[in-house]
C-alpha cells in the first residue's frame, strides 16, 4: 500500500494523533491535535513519518493490511510486538 500517496490529501489539515498502550503499563500520552505538515515513507517503506512541522515527526511502523489500515478518516497501525496502537484521525 502506498500510504504516502493515500494520505497526501491530509497534508495541511487538522489531525488528531494518538498512541495507545495495549498493555496499560506506560503512562497514557494525551492526544495531540496538529496540522499535518508532510507524510513520508522512510526506512525502506516500513515506516510512515507523520510530520507535525518541518523538523518533528511521529514514526509509525507499517505492517500488513490486517494491522495497518485506513478506515474512513482514521489511519491505524497496530504494533503487536510493542503492544502499541498508532492512530491518526482526520478532523
What are all long-range contacts of 75-82, with beta carbons under 8 Å and residues at least 24 apart? 75/3, 75/7, 77/48
pLDDT in tens, 42-82: 999 999 999 999 999 999 999 988 999 999 999 999 999 98
Query: Is residue 19 a contact partner of residue 84, using CB atoms and an 8 Å limit?
Result: yes
0.75 exceeded by pTM: yes
The whole-number pLDDT of residue 26 equals 64
pLDDT tens readout for residues 26-42: 666 788 999 999 999 99
Please tell me what DSSP assigns to residue 17: E
Q: How far is the C-alpha of 91 from the C-alpha of 73, rounded, in Å?
A: 8
Q: 47's torsion region: left (phi>0), alpha (psi -120 to 50) or beta?
A: beta
Instruction: Please state which CATH number belongs to domain 3-90.
Output: 2.70.180.10
Q: Which residue has the cell 494518538?
A: 18
Amino acid at each position: 500500500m502506498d500510504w504516502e500517496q493515500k494520505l497526501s490529501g491530509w497534508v495541511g489539515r487538522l489531525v488528531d494523533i494518538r498512541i495507545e498502550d495495549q498493555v496499560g503499563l506506560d503512562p497514557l500520552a494525551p492526544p495531540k491535535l496538529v496540522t499535518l505538515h508532510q507524510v513520508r515513507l522512510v526506512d525502506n517503506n516500513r515506516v510512515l513519518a507523520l510530520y507535525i512541522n518541518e523538523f518533528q515527526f511521529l514514526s509509525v511502523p507499517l505492517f500488513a493490511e490486517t494491522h495497518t489500515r485506513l478506515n474512513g478518516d482514521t489511519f491505524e497501525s497496530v504494533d503487536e510486538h510493542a503492544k502499541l496502537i498508532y492512530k491518526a484521525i482526520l478532523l
